[in-house]
Chains A and B, each alone.
Chain A
């Protein structure tokens, strides 16, 4: 197994492929290679770090600008934006009431 093949297998493994689906040679290698296991852990930690990060702060006033643009478009499409819509949806769409 070349280093490129090993890294390719390692990438699939990080993506959730089961060891049995990849290849026996990789599974055997990983079992006996502590640095490779740490590389896999490091990559997973790297991904988790970005997923766990705080959201970016949005520009000032953006919320209001977005809100009014969307409301205008909504009124164009649905003719209104005042809270509840007509009641006809409650029976079929949500399936909640009978």
Chain B
């Protein structure tokens, strides 16, 4: 039973305790962060066994390097960076040589031929309400999982997990400007697909101007 009188310890409290060898504090921290770590790994790797491996490796690395946490970012951000590195390591290993496309500049890494928004309409429901509807969950997941890998990875790290553009660039071994371009392509593609699904079709907008 949880004590009613004690405030819930923060991630930082738990990490500080864990650093001193308190395994129960580490377990509690792990329980807090595990769903996010697994979710990140699954979205990167798209496969349960690989996501499980990445999650386990990330937490083992966390034990290994627990003294290295310098409190320069939040505990969650630090853990998510470690988790991203391990998930990407597994992805690179699986891809072998084909992985070059992940970090190298390629078509799509500039603003040339950026697709223009086509279906523009305000959404008929707020996103946090849509997120609670079980029947659309699969479609939302699929929209992301079917996105081209190089766009999916930056979107997951930056927009879903909330790493900064710089942190995403570090983890992905890309320049910040490449991260931004890929992020824009990811956002436009997902916006297009999800707005077709969740946009209010009675309020579709047509831009009344053409940009050069």
Contact = CB atoms under 8 A, between A and B. Distances in A.
Interaction A to B: yes
Interface of A: 1-8, 11-12, 14-15, 33-36, 38-39, 41-43, 45-56, 58-59, 62, 65-67, 69-71, 73-74, 77-86, 88-89, 93-94
A52 B63 contact: no
A66 to B, nearest CB: 5
Contacts of A34: 205
A52 to B, nearest CB: 4
A65 B27 CA distance: 13
Interface of B: 13, 16-17, 19-24, 26-27, 30, 34-36, 38-39, 42, 48-49, 51-52, 55-56, 59-60, 63-64, 111-112, 114, 116-117, 120-123, 126-128, 130-132, 137, 140-141, 144, 155, 159-160, 162, 165, 180, 183-184, 187-188, 190-191, 194-195, 198-199, 205-207, 209, 211-212
Contact of B112 (A4, A42, A45): A4
Contact of B23 (A2, A7, A49, A71): A71
A94 B17 contact: yes
Given A4-B111, A33-B209, A74-B63, A50 B22 contact: no
A46 B123 CA distance: 10
Contact of B195 (A42, A51, A78, A84): A42
A45 B127 contact: yes
B48 A77 contact: no
A84 B144 contact: no
A8 B123 contact: no
6 contacts: A4-B111, A7-B116, A49-B194, A56-B39, A79-B21, A85-B20
Q: Which of B180, B191, B194, B198: most chain A CB closer than 10 A?
A: B191
B contact patch SS: helix
A5 to B, nearest CB: 8
A59 B48 contact: yes
Q: Which of A71, A84, A88: most chain B CB closer than 10 A?
A: A84
Contact of B21 (A48, A71, A85): A85
B90 to A, nearest CB: 16
Nearest to A51: B160
Contacts of B38: 55-56, 58, 62
A4 B21 contact: no
Contacts of A71: 23
Nearest to A12: B180
A8 B187 contact: no
Nearest to A8: B111
B191 A46 contact: yes
